[in-house]
Chain A
Amino acid sequence: MKDQILQTLHDLRAYALLKGVEAMFFYHEEDSYLMRFANSAISLNTNEHLIRLEITAYEGRKRASYELITDLNKLGEMKQGLDIAAEMVKHAQPLSYQPTLPLYPASFADESGFDSTLAALSNEERLAFFNEAVAGLETDEIKLSGIFSNGSNITAQIDTRSEHTQYFRTSDAQVNIVLAHSLLKWEITAEQSAYRKADLNPQSLRRDLAFLRERYQNDSPEQIPLGKYDIVFGATAIGDLLSIMNWVGFSGGALKRGYSFLTEDQLGKKIFSDQFNLTDDPTRLETFPYQRDIMGLDRGPFPVFEQGVFKSFTWFQDDADEFGVAPTGHTVMHKSLVISGGEMEVSTLEELVNLPRENDLLYIPFLHYMNLVNPSKGLVTASSRFGALLLKKDGSVVVPYNVRVTQSLLDIFGEKVAWLAKNQVVNNTSSSYGARNPTAVIVPAFMRVNDLEISHSNTSY
């Protein structure tokens, strides 16, 4: 398969050279399986095998691209794609800067994140995993939802500047399980990410679900009062906050276009809590990493924040070209973001609930529908969902109805941070829009932030 893909790319390059077109070819192949559950049944069971080819043609400062869904046996169709891109670029308008076409110094291939047994899981295995993860937890009222998504992904590149290629192959799985009470409307969730089959562990999901289910079944829910709370965010909530910061925080392009809450004069200054360390670390295979970017730059651990001090923006090549900045190796489909663990010895929800506490703690595992109210201030808003708990200082536990948090990332990761859990968790942040792009971040299992405001409290879930 790999040889056939690379040969196709070489054939396309030869065709572009023959036609006198400067071009880059980006190959994407996915084999995607998704078993979806709802109302305790399999509501959808689907498989898509898709090959996409994106062809970008260059002519001086002009650039145009053409993408097609195709097959390896359709070389003629792919060549026609090059012809179309070449025709488009003639009519394009020159950019105000010179776009960079990669010059790969040598061919590169990375399959270290590929496990054929994970990529080729059978329907029976997906179903058996789910059945084990929820064994004994469903009732007539408590219904199972969720997904078991797994597959394999290949990306490969060549361009007319050299005959060298880049090739990346990964396998991935994302499991989300939701148990929801059809009458009371509460919902709890547990999730897992894997890059190899050995990482799949239905029993650990079952343990988390069973613990929360016990709480939600036996504790009566409350509309909690508005006001300030010490909030403990769970890994998924931290992952979501990190993903939005990746978008409007340390991206150089966002900065230059006024979409960032960070500024150039903040480089080297302390912005966040000194417990906050953020690295883009492509050595962590759990993040489905790219060890080289599309431009052929080597990628290693890249500090973004160290002890709260802002170390660097990350640059996509096109932004670096436009704004005359040195690229940082971040022209990738996704980064490999890792927030370091902190000092607090707490790994599981059960341990969190049993921690001695001097104040009430509001545990929010999941932030639903986060959006940016004000990018320049890092102001985000979202609602709690899926298994929030109010851990009272007297040791009791209350199940709260959903609440809304509208806060700045500067506060959430700033001086109000009380502690981060030592234990880190892989949070799969893949979305299933468009081409498969398995993505995960590694974050502390919990993060406590004091004195955050709840701006809305529901009268029901």
Chain B
Amino acid sequence: MQKQLREQIERLKAAGATYVDARWYPVEESNQLTMWNGNLKNAAASRESGVGIRVLYKGAWGFSASSDMQNLNRLFDKAFDNARIAAERVTFPIRLAEKDAIQATFNSPNQIDPFAVSLADKIAFLKEMDEKLNQPGVAQRISEVTFMRKQIIFIDSEGSEIEKNIIEAFPGIQVTGLDDQGVMHSRKFSPARLGATRGWETLDPQLFAENAERIVREMNQVRAAEDCPKEDRSVILLPGIMFLQTHETIGHALELDRILGYELAFAGGSFVTLDDFGKLQYGSSKLTARADATVPNSPGSFGYDDDGIPAQDNLLIDKGLLVGAITGRQMVEEANARARRAIFNGSGGANRATAFYRVPIERMTNINIDPGQDGSLEDIVRNTEKGIILDGEKSWSIGSNREQFHFATDIGWLVEDGQVTKVVKNSTYKGATVKFYNSLSAVGDESTWEVRYVDNCGKGQPNQIMQLGHGVPVCRFDNVRIGE
């Protein structure tokens, strides 16, 4: 098949295409199991294979995809035709940043292939969790696992040929219960990534058992708690909400295609402009953020992106100063040209597609916050006068330019004069992005830093769901409005 794809790529090059690539997925599999109140509601598996063709012609993209590989001629021609018509409406002719031709293979690290584990063993794991969660106060209990495996073969007209074999495991448990007014509250757990591995072995029954007990206890505390006050306080975000804060207001805000207006029709833009790179004080000097696709155990690491660019670790925010973005080959060229200065030195290797039938776009890798110097969670609490500790993403809504946000969390613990005083329910906080990050007053050390994953990040039209990660410490922000 590789030979046939190479021949087709050469054929379109000879016909005038500037660039052609093919992403062939010989196999992509998933396996999803959901146990809800003891019922195995969902026992599903899926399999797909196919190829996606991307053609650049006279500065415009055309794309086509099919699971039917019998007629490659037609499929490649379709992509070329789509590029030809797109070339009739070009404002900035697409150029691709320079890269090296690469022949390589990437295998995600894992010890036990979850697709080799029997269904019975997987169900036994869910059943064990379900029994642990079946406690007084719990109205709904959910245990679920999703496993993914994909093989991707990338071939382009610049001489690259890359094979990727990626396995992911996404387990999680959740409980909900009602308070005396009939309002639902929930608490959930999915494990932070530990060790340099991504397979079945990440489902540690002991760790899950401990956390099952904890989330039931905390959910029952929330059910009995008073409402979160409506006032200004310092908010101390645990990694279980800090990951999403980072995702929504650093990650999405720094996708270069958003900054350049390529997502305006749907997901939105960004308050960041090209002028801001090297100038904008995005946060306080305690804030250092990076796009690190080399974290071994996270779905935000994939070896080579779908432009064939090797994984990188790039600074985004350096001690508060905006210095980088999440980039691919096309957007860095356009950004540098529009800014009339070399903001970006080549692609950052973050162009990815969710499936063979979608086109690669700029996606987060692992958007991480560096650990800081302010000690453990206990140290940060001890040094907080009037605060609230928040954890667990419940709801998130972000302005179309990522300039402001509103989050609700599963739980809050009030802090008064360095002491945790009580749990509150219906906790929320909101803010304006740049003001918020500039109020960052404490960043926890390594002991607070965890790699969290996101398995459902949506972007693009047609829409694409992507898996990625966030390594984040405990962070404290001052004078934040809560309880609205």
Q: Which residues of A contact B (CB under 8 A)?
A: 32, 34-51, 62-71, 73, 81, 84, 88-89, 91-93, 95-97, 123-124, 127, 131, 143, 145-147, 149, 176-178, 180, 182, 185, 187, 257-259, 263, 318, 322, 368-377, 381-383, 385, 402, 404, 406, 431-433, 455-456, 458-461
Contacts of A433 in B (CB 8 A): 458, 463, 465
A451 to chain B, nearest CB (A): 17
| A455 in contact with B182 (CB, 8 Å) | no
| B183 in contact with A377 (CB, 8 Å) | yes
Question: CB of B268 within 8 A of chain A?
Answer: yes
Q: How far is the CA of A432 from the CA of B355 in the complex (A)?
A: 13
Number of A-B contacts (CB under 8 A): 243
A-B contact list, 25 entries, CB within 8 Å: A37-B265, A38-B263, A41-B92, A42-B88, A50-B66, A50-B67, A62-B40, A65-B44, A67-B44, A68-B47, A69-B47, A71-B68, A88-B45, A97-B39, A178-B265, A257-B139, A258-B139, A258-B178, A371-B395, A374-B408, A402-B400, A406-B484, A455-B484, A456-B406, A461-B401
How many B residues, CB 8 Å from partner?
A: 81
Which single residue of chain A is at the shortest CB-CB distance from B40?
A93
| A49 in contact with B66 (CB, 8 Å) | yes
Which single residue of chain B is at the shortest CB-CB distance from A95?
B39
Contacts of B182 in A (CB 8 A): 263, 376
| A42 in contact with B85 (CB, 8 Å) | yes
B338 to chain A, nearest CB (A): 10
| B61 in contact with A43 (CB, 8 Å) | yes
Stretch at the interface among B103-111, B118-126, B318-326, B442-450: B118-126
Contacts of A259 in B (CB 8 A): 184
Q: How far is the CA of A185 from the CA of B400 in the complex (A)?
A: 11
Partner of B127, one of A46, A62, A93: A93
| B48 in contact with A69 (CB, 8 Å) | yes
Partner of A369, one of B92, B397, B462, B465: B397
Given contacts A41-B91, A93-B40, A180-B264, contact A47 B461 (CB under 8 A): no
Which single residue of chain B is at the shortest CB-CB distance from A68?
B47
Question: CB of B271 within 8 A of chain A?
Answer: yes
Question: CB of B426 within 8 A of chain A?
Answer: yes
Q: How far is the CA of A31 from the CA of B398 in the complex (A)?
A: 33
Which single residue of chain B is at the shortest CB-CB distance from A369?
B397
Question: CB of B262 within 8 A of chain A?
Answer: yes
| B41 in contact with A318 (CB, 8 Å) | yes
Contacts of B78 in A (CB 8 A): 47
Contacts of A375 in B (CB 8 A): 184
| B119 in contact with A91 (CB, 8 Å) | yes
The A contact surface, by secondary structure, is: strand
Q: How far is the CA of A127 from the CA of B89 in the complex (A)?
A: 9
Question: CB of B269 within 8 A of chain A?
Answer: yes
Contacts of B86 in A (CB 8 A): 35, 41-42, 44-45
| B264 in contact with A38 (CB, 8 Å) | yes
Interface string of B61-81 (1 = CB under 8 A from A): 111111110100000001001
Which single residue of chain A is at the shortest CB-CB distance from B52?
A48
Question: CB of B399 within 8 A of chain A?
Answer: yes
Contacts of B38 in A (CB 8 A): 96
| A143 in contact with B261 (CB, 8 Å) | yes
Which single residue of chain B is at the shortest CB-CB distance from A366?
B400
A109 to chain B, nearest CB (A): 25
Given known contacts A69-B50, A145-B265, A461-B400, what 11 new A-B pairs fall within 8 Å (CB)? A43-B262, A46-B462, A47-B78, A48-B65, A64-B45, A65-B44, A91-B120, A93-B40, A182-B261, A263-B182, A373-B394
| In the complex, chain B residues 313-339 whose Cβ is within 8 Å of any chain A Cβ | none
| A46 in contact with B397 (CB, 8 Å) | no
| A34 in contact with B92 (CB, 8 Å) | no
| A41 in contact with B39 (CB, 8 Å) | no
Contacts of B406 in A (CB 8 A): 371, 373, 381, 404, 406, 455-456
Question: CB of B396 within 8 A of chain A?
Answer: yes
| A69 in contact with B67 (CB, 8 Å) | yes
Q: How far is the CA of A146 from the CA of B484 in the complex (A)?
A: 34
Question: CB of B467 within 8 A of chain A?
Answer: no
Question: CB of B173 within 8 A of chain A?
Answer: no
Q: How far is the CA of A369 from the CA of B91 in the complex (A)?
A: 29
Which single residue of chain A is at the shortest CB-CB distance from B430?
A456
A170 to chain B, nearest CB (A): 17
Contacts of B140 in A (CB 8 A): 257-258
Q: How far is the CA of A336 from the CA of B404 in the complex (A)?
A: 34
